[in-house]
Amino acid sequence: MKVFTSKLCTTLHTPEFEFHGGAQSQHYECPERREAILKYLESHSDSFEVTEHVEDFGYEPIKRVHKQGFLNYLETAYDEWILEGGHPNGVMPSTIPHYRLARLGGQTPTNSLTNAGEYCFDMSAVITKDTFKAAWNAAQVTLTATKDLVRVADQYEKGLAAGTIVSREAPPGLYALVRPPGHHAQSDLCGGYCFLNNVGIAAQWLIDRPELRHKDGRPKKVAIIDIDFHHGNGTQELFYKTSNPLYASLHGRDAYPHFTGAATERGEGEGLGFSINVPLPRSTSDDEYVEALEKLIQEHIIPYDADYIIISLGVDTFKDDPIAGFLVTSEAYPRIGNAIRKIGLPTLFVQEGGYCVEKLGLNVGGILQGFLGKVAA
């Protein structure tokens, strides 16, 4: 499996701390996460080929899902924050415009010390000096992998048509090893360690490509499956009113981000029925998780008849994750990868959460190995 990544995913975004449960703590979404995954992949070179080739797709694909004012804010927030006396660790909102906060005069804050809340919904998306560059880089790495997905999918379809590939049992897969992650980032809100929605940008890019359209003019269909422990409020918001892509998520019930991810959130208008939310209790075991994923695939993903699958790959479902977790063990991850493989479609995995650094390589590797039809080790 080809793996797309960049050293910049380690070096550019390095906040020193965040607040967790009211206390100052280490920043769990740390550079060591990428290093741990990379170490696993490089020690399993029979399965993985790592490339640091990154193409620049420019601003356009990012602007297709994020609003310009938000992008301007991300790009300039840190410098303004420092000029105005903010702490050098990075931008954190001190006031968030709660929906019951009366903004009777329609006021919009005018400086970064106060307007962080305008574009951020919590205190975990700390904007440092190079955060925008880091998020930009993660999006470009993901797009580079997405472009390659088109290539391998094309080969796969041609092989099936010519009979050189005899079944859909071993679909092609690629992996974008990126940070910061993206699935909590909405069109104009950062939060939950996320700034730009990598998966959303990739899905929209696939749908937008005129040369990828079917012969009858229909755009390609994308199904996003979000297996991070947390609900991908950002991805859901981006696509809540459209039928393409489909967004389906398995996540912790009553868990962060707390206000989204109910089973009753099903989309709106043309999008009604194309947001699928499956909240699961914290006590969810390996068998229960794999069964829930297989049920989601059978009931929603297969009938959707997508051309591409994109996986928001989080392994904070792990039982020992320091900030999340079901009762899921490392043994479950190859089974999860295998369930995704059985869909039989070209698949792009994009890294989201997972904070047990010690087991991160094994757990992410487990999913990817399972997709390749192997057992992790």
Residues at the interface with Zn ion (CB under 5 A): 228-230, 314, 316, 353
Q: Least distance from C-beta 80 to Zn ion, angstroms?
A: 29
Of the two residues 86 and 314, which places its CB atom closer to Zn ion in the complex?
A: 314
Choice between 127 and 356, CB closer to Zn ion: 356
Task: Tell me the residue number closest to Zn ion, measured at CB.
Answer: 353
**Is the Cβ of residue 86 or residue 353 nearer to Zn ion in the bound state?**
353
Least gap, CB of 226 to Zn ion (angstroms)? 9
User: Cα–Cα distance between 57 and 73 in angstroms, integer?
Assistant: 21
Selected catalytic residue, list 13, 66, 184, 231: 184
What gap in Å lies between CA 8 and CA 327, rounded to an integer? Answer: 33
Residues 6+ apart with CB under 8 A from 133: 8, 12
Rounded CA separation 310/175 (Å): 10
Q: Alpha carbon of 105 to those of 76, 102, 119, 127: distances in Å?
A: 26, 9, 19, 28
Active site (annotated) includes residue 258: no
DSSP codes, 187-231: TTBBBTTBSS-HHHHHHHHHHH-GGGS-TTSPPPPEEEEE-SSS-
- Please, which residue, 174 or 323, has the CB nearer to Zn ion? 323
User: Measured from the CB of residue 312, what is the shortest distance to Zn ion in angstroms?
Assistant: 9
Would you give the distance in Å from CA 69 to the centre of its chain?
22
Q: Mind giving me the DSSP string for 270-290?
A: GGTT-EEEEEE-TT--HHHHH
* Joined tokens for residue 243: 């039928």
- Of the pair 81, 318, the CB lying nearest Zn ion is at 318
Q: How far is the CB of 105 from Zn ion (least distance, A)?
A: 37
**Shortest CB 84 distance to Zn ion, Å:** 31
Secondary structure element (H or E) that encloses residue 248, with its range = strand 246-252
Minimum CB–partner distance for residue 70 and Zn ion (Å): 21
Who contacts 40 (Cβ-Cβ below 8 Å, separation ≥6)?
360, 361, 362, 364, 365
Q: Distance between CA 96 and CA 120 in Å, rounded?
A: 8
Nearer to Zn ion, 286 or 316 (CB): 316
* Residue 123: burial class (beta carbons within 10 Å; 0-12, 13-18, 19+): middle
Residues serving a catalytic function are: 184
